[in-house]
Every structure is written in C-alpha cells, then in structure tokens.
C-alpha cells in the first residue's frame, strides 16, 4: 500500500469512528427529546385529568354531559366544557390533527362546545344521527339561568306596560344584563321586551337601537330588582339614565353567579 492510500485509509478509519460516535450521540439526543416530549404529554394529560375530576369528569357519554350541564355551576359551565375538550385532545392526538375544528375551545358558544363535545364522546360508542339529541342553546341557557334563579321568586311577577326591566342574556362575551321595556305577555312562560343599547361602561346610560330589538323573555331571565331611571330628551339620541345601575349589578351577580 503506497503512502497516499495509507493516509486515506487512516482518514477513513478515523472518520468512521467519529461518525459512529456522532450518530450515537445524535440518536441518544433524539431518544432523550422523545422521552421528554412524551413525559410532558403525560404530565399534561395528568393536569387536564385532575381538572376534569374537579367537576366530576372526565365525561364518558352524552348523557353525563347533559347531567353535568344541569347540575354544574352556571358561571363556569364553559370552563368545564373546555377542560373536557382539552382532555379529549390530549388523549386523541391523531384525531385532533384530522378534525381540528372539533377540538377548538375559544370563541365558541356553550351550544357549539356541547355539540362538539357530544360528537367526540359519541365516536366509537354510537353513530351520530337520530341516536343523539343535542341540547339547544335555548335549553342550555334555561337550565343554567333557572338553576340560579329557581329560589328567587315564589310566584309569577306582574309588570306594567313600558316598565323598565333588567334582562339577563348569555352570548359569546359571557353573561350580561340589559335594559328593556315590558311590552306584553305571550303566555305563562314568556313576555315580550323591547331592549335598549348600552352606552356607558357602568350600565347607567342606554339608548334606543337603530333597529328594534324585541325578544321573547322568560321570567327567570329578569333580575329581581326595580330599574329606576328616566329619559333625558335633551340629548340626541335620547338617553335613558339609570340611577341604580350598581344595585342592579349587585343583584345580578348575587342571583345569577351564585355558587351551586
């Protein structure tokens, strides 16, 4: 073997040894990273599982979902729905990548979260179709509001035409109260209310919206508090100023955000 060949052979031997050491180190790092990632994933599952257990979860089927909605603290119902979806996502990685829309938890209504969660819970158990009856947004709101308000009144209240009322609604921004004027009674369960539009952060100033905002309201949506206010006709548009907005807000928080 001539000198150049010996040099190349020696270089090749050293390179193989170095490459082998580097590959072993790289493989070791990959294994460590994989184990660390797996450990973090398991820790996240444990965290979410612990949170689910706080509200009686994790939920296993649609029946349990509806039972918890009817019994759980109304203020935090979205919180437990999100936790349940997070648990589903943590334990169904591949499915969450294939159907990401079902695992979203932000900017969704209570009904949308319930519907997605019901679909996730039903997979592998029953086929989606007539077998599953989703709780509607109205039904969920009635369950939650009525649960908080069931002990507030002993009989159906009576209102005067154009009497101002504080009405509770749930929307994407959460639970809020709005001012409206009583119009008439539809039946034994609902009344018609002409709603105003809020103009101040402290709920003290309200105006008529550009378009009529008339809705059917159930009795348990009314805050049990007199609304004291008057119209300021010197302003354009005219402003309905409420003198006891703080008292209304206190009553609202007491009756519609009380602990279960």
* Stretch among 49-53, 131-135, 199-203 having the lowest mean pLDDT: 131-135
Judgement on whether residues 84 and 189 belong to the same structural domain of the protein:
no
Highest mean pLDDT among 33-47, 105-119, 198-212: 198-212
Judgement on whether residues 99 and 219 belong to the same structural domain of the protein:
no
Give the three-state DSSP class for 72.
Answer: coil
What does each C-alpha distance from 111 to 54, 69, 81, 134, 167 come to in angstroms? 22, 11, 10, 8, 20
Judgement on whether residues 1 and 106 belong to the same structural domain of the protein:
yes
Cis peptide before 24 (omega within 30 of 0): no
Q: Residues 211-249: pLDDT tens digits? A: 999 999 988 889 888 999 999 999 989 999 999 999 998
Judgement on whether residues 131 and 3 belong to the same structural domain of the protein:
yes
Q: Which range of residues forms the domain containing residue 106?
A: 1-135
Does residue 194 belong to any structural domain of this protein? yes
Judgement on whether residues 45 and 123 belong to the same structural domain of the protein:
yes
pTM of the model: 0.45
Examine the pLDDT at 28 and tell me if it is beyond 80: no
Token pair 């070791």 is at which residue?
28
Scored b (16 or more CB within 10 A) or e, 178-192 reads bbbbbbeeeeeeebe
Judgement on whether residues 169 and 114 belong to the same structural domain of the protein:
no
Judgement on whether residues 6 and 73 belong to the same structural domain of the protein:
yes
Q: What is the pLDDT of residue 229?
A: 93
Does residue 245 belong to any structural domain of this protein? yes
Q: What is the pLDDT of residue 127?
A: 34
167: region left, alpha or beta (phi > 0 left; psi from -120 to 50 alpha): beta
Judgement on whether residues 75 and 160 belong to the same structural domain of the protein:
no
Cα–Cα distance between 120 and 78 in angstroms, integer? Answer: 16
What does each C-alpha distance from 16 to 7, 11, 21 come to in angstroms? 14, 9, 9
Return all residues near 149 (Cβ < 8 A) that are at least 6 apart.
Answer: 220, 255, 256
Mean pLDDT along residues 125-136: 41
Judgement on whether residues 129 and 173 belong to the same structural domain of the protein:
no
Structural domain ending residue among the three candidates 135, 168, 195: 135
């Amino acid at each position: 073997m001539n000198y150049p060949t010996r040099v190349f052979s020696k270089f090749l031997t050293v390179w193989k040894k170095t490459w082998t050491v580097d590959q072993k180190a790289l493989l070791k790092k990959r294994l460590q990273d994989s184990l660390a990632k797996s450990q973090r994933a398991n820790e996240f599952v444990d965290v979410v599982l612990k949170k689910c257990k706080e509200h009686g979860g994790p939920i296993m089927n649609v029946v349990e979902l509806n039972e918890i909605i009817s019994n759980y603290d109304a203020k935090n119902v979205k919180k437990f729905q999100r936790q349940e979806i997070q648990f589903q996502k943590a334990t169904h990685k591949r499915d969450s990548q294939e159907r990401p829309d079902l695992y979203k938890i932000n900017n969704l209504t209570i009904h949308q979260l319930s519907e997605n969660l019901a679909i996730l819970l039903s997979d592998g158990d029953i086929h989606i179709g007539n077998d599953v009856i989703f709780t509607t947004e109205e039904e969920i709101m009635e369950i939650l509001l009525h649960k908080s308000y069931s002990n507030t009144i002993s009989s159906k209240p009576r209102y005067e035409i154009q009497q101002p009322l504080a009405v509770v609604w749930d929307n994407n921004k959460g639970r809020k109260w709005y001012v409206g004027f009583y119009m008439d009674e539809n039946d034994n369960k609902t009344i018609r209310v002409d709603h105003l539009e809020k103009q101040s952060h402290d709920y003290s100033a309200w105006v008529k919206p550009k378009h009529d905002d008339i809705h059917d309201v159930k009795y348990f949506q009314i805050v049990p508090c007199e609304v004291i206010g008057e119209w300021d006709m010197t302003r354009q548009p005219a402003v309905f100023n409420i003198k006891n907005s703080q008292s209304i807000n206190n009553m609202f928080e007491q009756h519609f955000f009380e602990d279960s």
